Structure 1
Amino acid sequence: MGHREDLLEGAKKCLVEKGFVRTTARDIVSASGTNLASIGYHYGSKDALLTQAFTGLMEEWGENFHKGLDGEGGSLERFRALWEGVLARREESGRIWAASMEVALGGDRLPELRALLAASQGEGRRGLISLLTGTPEEELDERDLRTLGAFYQALLNGLMLQWLFDPGSAATAEEFTEGMRRAAEGVTGAGARD
């Protein structure tokens, strides 16, 4: 690997161990075995590198779910399988989610980093839609991302926030799926009572 790849892997390690706010450029250099000048040369800034590392972690996370998800795209079985996978990996993903919450709740303390992460949300939404519906990412348009993608992203963020706040009271995949089924029935009128 070259310095660019080493920096990216070092930044991923730092994100998982320390989060966005506590990770310094020196931490990344130490974890990657590179030098400080490499960060600016390859990524422009520490925040840009951390954002790319975060995006990479999310892509790796999503790729693991593409393999072996039960159920047809758009089915409740697929919906449940995804949330079972999310919750099964919550221990390893928890620090990454906590890091993103750090940035989201940090207000204007990290405006550049926040802007970079906001710009990467579309890719996250695209991946979630593909995972849950089975639709290839390249077939999705902006409306898909702003509607269905935003909805799925809100579900994912909400579930992880529940888990980060109090793992004991967070919904299970079964409860989450049942809630989705009931909400869908309520909205569409299916199963409505007289």
Structure 2
Amino acid sequence: MGHREDLLEGAKRCLLEKGFARTTARDIVKESGTNLASIGYHYGSKDALLAEAYVALIEPMGTAFEAAADSGGIAAGGLERFRDGWANIIRTMPQSRAIWMMSLEVITQGERLAGIRDLLAKAQVEGRRGLTAMFTGIDEDALPQDMVESEGRLYTTLLNGLMVQWLFDEASATDAEQLTEGLRRVMERVSDSP
């Protein structure tokens, strides 16, 4: 591995241990066995490196969701697909706790992490696209932009709310069955409306 890869791996370890706000450039250098100048040379800034490290930590989570969908883990459609998708996401939460905590850190300390927040805001678009593909079964490249902007935003909002509930108190957090039953009731009420 070269310095670029060493820095990325070191930054990932620092994020998992310390989070964004407490990770310093010196921490990353110590963890990666590189030097301070390497951060600027390869990434431009510590914030850019941390944002890339965070995205690298998050990507396998999306892959795990997709693998479950591809292996038949998400039923063919409708409420079953919705329920199975959320069940798969919820199953990943225990092993992904540190990553969810970092997400919450960016949300709650955004003004102090402005450079990181701006970089991650751009990555949200890809997150919306990935969630929409998973829940609809439509290939990401074939998704209409209006679907990503509407359904993708709904899935992202639900995911963020679920993340906060789960981090606060796993035992009382909404499960996939409850989420699906809530959606079913809303759909029923809307379809009964004049």
Distance 1:141 1:12 in 2: 33
Whether 1:16 and 2:16 are equivalent positions in the alignment is yes
Match of 1:101 among 101, 104, 108: 104
* Residues 3 and 188 of structure 1: CA distance in aligned 2, closer, same or farther (over 3 Å): farther
Q: 1:56 and 1:165 mapped to 2: Cα distance? A: 25
Matched residue, 2:147 = 144
Q: Which moved more, 1:76-85 or 1:16-25?
A: 76-85
The TM-score, its normalising length taken from structure 2, stands at 0.89
For residue 74 of structure 1, report the CA deviation from its aligned partner. Answer: 4.2
**Cα distance, 1:108 vs. partner?**
1.9
| Partner-residue secondary structure (3-state), 1:108 | coil
1:158 corresponding residue in structure 2: 161
Q: Distance in 2 between matches of 1:112 and 1:35?
A: 22
Residue 174 of structure 2 is matched in structure 1 by: 171
Please identify, of 73-82 and 166-175, the stretch whose mean Cα deviation from structure 2 is larger.
73-82
Is the 1:47–1:113 Cα contact (8 Å) retained in structure 2?
A: yes
Q: CA RMSD in A?
A: 1.8
C-alpha displacement of 1:129: 0.7
Asked if 2 retains the 8 angstrom alpha-carbon contact of 1:72 and 1:134, the reply is no
Which residue matches 1:79? 82
2:118 alignment counterpart: 115
Return 124-133 or 63-72, whichever deviates more.
63-72
Amino acid at match of 1:94: R
Identity of aligned residues (%): 55
1:48 positional shift: 0.7
Partner of 2:191: 188
Aligned partner of 1:58 in structure 2 is 58
Give the alignment partner of residue 92 of structure 1, picking from 85, 91, 95: 95
Contact kept? 1:10, 1:29, Cα under 8 Å: yes
Counterpart amino acid of 1:132? F
| C-alpha deviation, 1:47, in angstroms | 0.8
Judge conservation of contact 2:61–2:92 (CA < 8 Å) in 1. no
Q: Distance in 1 between the 2:87 and 2:143 partners?
A: 25
Give the Å deviation of 1:127.
0.8
Amino acid at match of 1:140: L
The answer to whether 1:134 aligns with 2:134 is no
1:10-32 CA deviation, whole Å, 9 max, x = no partner?
Answer: 22222222111111112222222
Against the structure 1 CA distance between its residues 186 and 29, is the aligned structure 2 distance closer, same or farther, given a 3 Å change threshold?
farther
* Cα displacement (A) at 1:118: 1.0
Q: Which amino acid aligns with 2:30?
A: S
- Determine if contact 2:79/2:180 at 8 Å carries over to the other structure: yes
2:22 corresponds to which letter in structure 1?
A: R
8 A contact 2:128–2:156 mirrored in 1: yes
| Structure 1: stretches of 5+ with no match in the other structure | none
Q: Deviation digits for residues 72-122 of structure 1, max 9, x if unmatched?
A: 454322222222222222122222111121121114222111111111110
On the 8 A contact 1:71/1:77 being kept in 2, the answer is: yes
Tell me how far 1:68 sits from its aligned partner. 2.6
Name whichever of 5-14 and 43-52 sits farther off.
5-14
Question: 1:29 corresponds to which residue?
Answer: 29
| Higher fraction of helix | 2
Relative distance call for 1:23 and 1:141 in structure 2 (3 A) is farther
